[in-house]
Structure formats: structure tokens, C-alpha cells
Amino acid sequence: MASASALDIHVRQVTKAYGAVVVLDRVDLHVQAGEFLTLLGPSGSGKTTLLMMLAGFTRPDSGSILFGTQEVIRLAPQKRDVGMVFQNYALFPHMNVAANIAFPLRLRKTGAAEIARRVEAALDMVQLAGYGARGIDELSGGQRQRVALARALVFEPRIILMDEPLSALDKQLRELMQLELRRLHEKLGTTTIYVTHDQREALTMSDRIAVINKGRIAQLDTPRHIYSKPNSRFVAEFIGESTFLNVAVTGGVCRYRDTVIKAGGAPVRDGRCLLMIRPEQVRIVDGAARDGMNCFDGRIVGRVFQGDTMRIEVDLGGGDAITLRVPANSVGLQSLPDGSDSITLGLTVADTTLLPDER
Ligand code: ADP
Ligand code: MG
């Protein structure tokens, strides 16, 4: 739920180049008030640059950024009412925890009693009550991350920006903090933009995900839609696992080799297309149950035990392969032939997704 003071953000046609390198290319983005939106993309795609523009540390070459109805391009960072958590935390090593958290309040000339009260509340919020007098070098990575978060929250900003705040933490702590940050967001209702290159993190935390590629937003949608209905091979490969088969569409009919493929979703234009196949959507079909399925015959050429699932590679001949996952328990494996036996795989029409072939 959005808090009363949460702001929406309009990024319009924002462009930034360093020399001949265009880092952001006419980016349009609308973030709703109180939303948790994640910028997800590979290293070098422009995520940090976009965040720095929202924070006010980098100015775009052209375009507009509105917080609510206010144009902020010429506004200094401390006047934007934005809390920022940097990738490396950027804590002041010579100040203790309380002084670090108090810093933005001192910048704003808050009174001493009010500072003390707010710092206590911020420490509470990130579950570090009693840590105010500690030195930064006495804290673990996870605790430093919480101090950085408390410092970003302490002045009750209307917008919170976070640049890969969990990337230095080990997996277990990272997953714990993902849920904690999400809980905190729900409590505060502040408009939040979160940067990560970790697709699972983005899926776990976000209301919506903006997938960014080479300075452009490739797709903006809910985690569920981004995963199930990617609009391009780039998005499909970046989020989740998938294999692709080349198919041809003529007269509105899609064929893989000579077999007609029925696809869910919007019709695609005639020409070459890609059939996207998610490993967990593939079913193992026995001869009788082909009805209503798109079927592919092949041979098992590899199987890898991965704990909860078994990853199976099926060769369709002619250089094509499909990867599937079955639960690594007896139920999942019962239906699986031994050795390099032939196998028929099926995909329901609803799970059959066609993508434009960009290359
Ligand atoms: P990301 O955060 O997605 O990894 P960045 O926004 O940091 O990407 O960088 C995007 C591109 O812009 C990279 O190619 C990077 O080298 C370049 N870049 C970023 N900042 C500068 C700068 N100050 N000067 C020159 N190039 C820069
Ligand atoms: Mg970055």
C-alpha cells in the first residue's frame, strides 16, 4: 500500500552518452506511488546510471524526470527527498553506527533530541537496536547493510533507491534480507526502485520488473508476466531457463519441421519465429495422451541430478534439443525411460509461447 506521501516517478525520453557510448537511450518509465519496481539487467546495461540520475548525482543529456508533478533534473541531490543505498554501502568508517545514521538529519539541521529519537527508531526498524555506539568495522556485512538502509530511511524520504544492496552478502543472508526489505517496503509504503542483476531476487521482491538491455527498457511487467510471457529472446534468456526451437509461420499456421504447432497468446506474423520452452513446462507424454499437446519425439542424451529436480536433455535430432526438469523423487522419475530410450515430450497449447526471431 502506498503511504500518503509516496510519489510517482515519470522518466521521459532520458538519454545519456559518455563520448560515443550511449548508456541510456530514450528511456521512458513510469513508477507508481508506493510501488516496488526493480531494474533488472546485465552488467553495463545502464542500471546504476539511471539510479544516479534519479538521485541527482548524474544529469541526463536530454529528457525529463518528474517526482509527482515536479521536474527534478536541475534539483540538487539533498533537495530531492530521496534515500539511497549504494552497492558498497558507502558508510563513513570514522563515525559510529548512530553518527552514520544521523548524518542525513544533521545535513537537514534537525534538532539533537529529534535526531536521537529518529536514530533509535531507525535502528529498531532494521533490527539493530543497541548497536548505535559500535564502530563500522565491528559489524558484519549484513549488519553494515542494515546501517546503510537505516541511514537511507531515517529522514523518511518519499522515494528510496537501492543499487544492488545485497550483492556482497552470502546466499542465505541475501534471501533473508530480500524478504525483510520487502516487508519493510510494505510497512513504509515508500516508492522504491531497486537495482539487481539477479533474476531470482527481482522475481522475489518486485511489484513490477523493468528488464533493461543496452540502455533501453526491453520489457516492463509483473514478475509473473515477465516470466511466462517474455516479449523477446533476450528477456526469456535473462529470466528463467529456456530452450528455443526455430519454427516457421506461414498463412498464420506455425510448424516445427512438418508438425503443426498450436500456440497460446497473440497470433504472430508470418516468417521465422522462436518457440520458447521452459524446462518445468515440458511434460513426458505416453502414446495415448497426445491430444491437445504439441509433441516432440527425441532421445534422452543427458540427465543431471540437481537436488530437488533432475535436469534432462532430450535430443530431437538435427541439432535441436529440449531441456526439461522433473521432480527428483520417485513420482517424477517413474515416468522417465531408462538410458537413451526414445521419449515423447509434450507442451500444452497454453504453455506454447512464440517469440519474434530477432536475428
Ligand atoms: P550497470 O549498473 O547496469 O552495470 P552502469 O550504469 O554502471 O551499468 O554503466 C553503463 C555503461 O556506462 C557502462 O558501459 C559503463 O562503462 C558506462 N559508464 C558509466 N559511468 C560512466 C562514466 N562516468 N564515464 C564513462 N562511462 C561510464
Ligand atoms: Mg551498477
Asked whether 196 lines ligand 1 (CB < 6 A), one says: no
User: Which pLDDT score, from 0 to 100, does residue 339 have?
Assistant: 64
* Main-chain dihedrals φ then ψ at residue 129, nearest 5 degrees: -55, 135
Return the top range by mean pLDDT from 37-51, 85-99, 107-121, 162-176: 37-51
Q: Evaluate if residue 330 carries a pLDDT over 90.
A: no
> Which residues, in sequence order, are bridge partners of residue 208?
37
Q: Decide if 357 contacts 274 (C-beta within 8 A).
A: yes
Q: Decide if 209 contacts 202 (C-beta within 8 A).
A: yes
One DSSP character per residue, 18-64 reads ETTEEEEEEEEEEE-TT-EEEEE--TTSSHHHHHHHHHTSS--SEEE
Closest CA to 90 of 169, 156, 147: 147
- How far is ligand 2, taken at its centre, from the CA of residue 75, in Å? 23
User: Which pLDDT score, from 0 to 100, does residue 6 have?
Assistant: 86
Question: Which ligand ends up closest to the CA of 212?
Answer: 1
> Which residues, in sequence order, are bridge partners of residue 212?
217
Q: How far apart are CA 19 and CA 330, in angstroms?
A: 59
H helix intervals, the chain: 47-55, 97-107, 112-125, 141-153, 171-188, 199-205, 223-228, 233-238, 330-334
Q: Which atom of ligand 1 is nearest to the CA of 45?
A: 3
pLDDT digits (tens, 9 = 90+) for 35-60: 999 999 999 999 999 999 999 999 99
Amino acid at 242: S
pLDDT band for 212, please (50, 70, 90 cuts).
very high
Q: Under CATH, which number does the domain 9-234 receive?
A: 3.40.50.300
Handedness of CA 211, 213, 216, 219 (dihedral sign): negative
Asked whether 48 lines ligand 1 (CB < 6 A), one says: yes
- How far is ligand 1, taken at its centre, from the CA of residue 15, in Å? 13
Q: Evaluate if residue 157 carries a pLDDT over 80.
A: yes
What is the percent of the chain with per-residue pLDDT over 90, rounded to a whole number? Answer: 70
Which residue has the least CA distance to atom 15 on ligand 1? 44
pLDDT digits (tens, 9 = 90+) for 10-35: 999 999 999 999 999 999 999 999 99
In terms of DSSP bridges, do strands 62-67 and 9-18 run parallel, antiparallel, or are they unpaired? Answer: antiparallel
Q: How far apart are CA 113 and CA 102, in angstroms?
A: 11
Which residue in the block uniquely carries the three cell numbers 528477456? 235
Q: Which atom of ligand 1 is nearest to the CA of 52?
A: 6
Q: Evaluate if residue 116 carries a pLDDT over 90.
A: yes
Ligand 2 ion local residues (Cβ < 5 A): 48
Q: Decide if 132 contacts 162 (C-beta within 8 A).
A: no
Q: How far apart are CA 240 and CA 74, in angstroms?
A: 39
Q: Evaluate if residue 1 carries a pLDDT over 60.
A: no
Q: Decide if 132 contacts 102 (C-beta within 8 A).
A: no
Angle, CA 89 vertex, CA 83 and CA 95 arms, to 5°? 95
The residue that leads in pLDDT, 350 or 64, is 64
End-to-end CA distance of the chain: 42
User: Which pLDDT score, from 0 to 100, does residue 335 have?
Assistant: 64
pLDDT band for 333, please (50, 70, 90 cuts).
low
- How far is ligand 2, taken at its centre, from the CA of residue 44, in Å? 7
Handedness of CA 332, 333, 334, 339 (dihedral sign): positive
pLDDT band for 68, please (50, 70, 90 cuts).
very high
Q: Decide if 15 contacts 3 (C-beta within 8 A).
A: no
Which residue has the least CA distance to atom 25 on ligand 1? 18
Asked whether 47 lines ligand 1 (CB < 6 A), one says: yes
Q: Evaluate if residue 290 carries a pLDDT over 90.
A: no
Asked whether 40 lines ligand 1 (CB < 6 A), one says: no
Question: What CATH architecture does domain 241-356 belong to?
Answer: Beta Barrel (2.40)
Per this entry, what is the length of the chain? 359
**Exposed (0-12), middle (13-18) or buried (19+): which is 253, by Cβ within 10 Å?**
exposed
User: Which pLDDT score, from 0 to 100, does residue 332 have?
Assistant: 57
Q: Evaluate if residue 84 carries a pLDDT over 60.
A: yes
Which residue has the least CA distance to atom 11 on ligand 1? 44
- How far is ligand 1, taken at its centre, from the CA of residue 43, in Å? 9
Among 15, 24, 49, the mutation site with the greatest number of ligand 1 atoms within 8 A of its Cβ is 49
pLDDT band for 144, please (50, 70, 90 cuts).
very high
User: Which pLDDT score, from 0 to 100, does residue 303 have?
Assistant: 87
Which residue in the block uniquely carries the three cell numbers 534519479? 54
Asked whether 317 lines ligand 1 (CB < 6 A), one says: no
Q: How far apart are CA 253 and CA 171, in angstroms?
A: 46
In the chain, where the domains are located: 9-234, 241-356
pLDDT digits (tens, 9 = 90+) for 238-289: 998 999 999 999 988 999 998 999 988 777 788 899 999 999 999 988 766 7
Asked whether 215 lines ligand 1 (CB < 6 A), one says: no
Q: Which atom of ligand 1 is nearest to the CA of 195?
A: 2
Fold match between domain 9-234 and domain 241-356: no
Largest CA distance in the chain: 77
Rounded to an integer, the average pLDDT of 297-325 is: 91
Which residue has the least CA distance to atom 26 on ligand 1? 18
Q: Evaluate if residue 72 carries a pLDDT over 70.
A: yes
User: Which pLDDT score, from 0 to 100, does residue 257 have?
Assistant: 92
Q: Which atom of ligand 1 is nearest to the CA of 215?
A: 10
Q: Evaluate if residue 359 carries a pLDDT over 70.
A: no
User: Which pLDDT score, from 0 to 100, does residue 4 have?
Assistant: 67
Which residue in the block uniquely carries the three cell numbers 515519470? 10
Question: Which ligand ends up closest to the CA of 44?
Answer: 1
pLDDT band for 168, please (50, 70, 90 cuts).
confident
Rounded to an integer, the average pLDDT of 320-346 is: 79
pLDDT band for 329, please (50, 70, 90 cuts).
confident
Among 25, 27, 40, 48, the mutation site with the greatest number of ligand 1 atoms within 8 A of its Cβ is 48
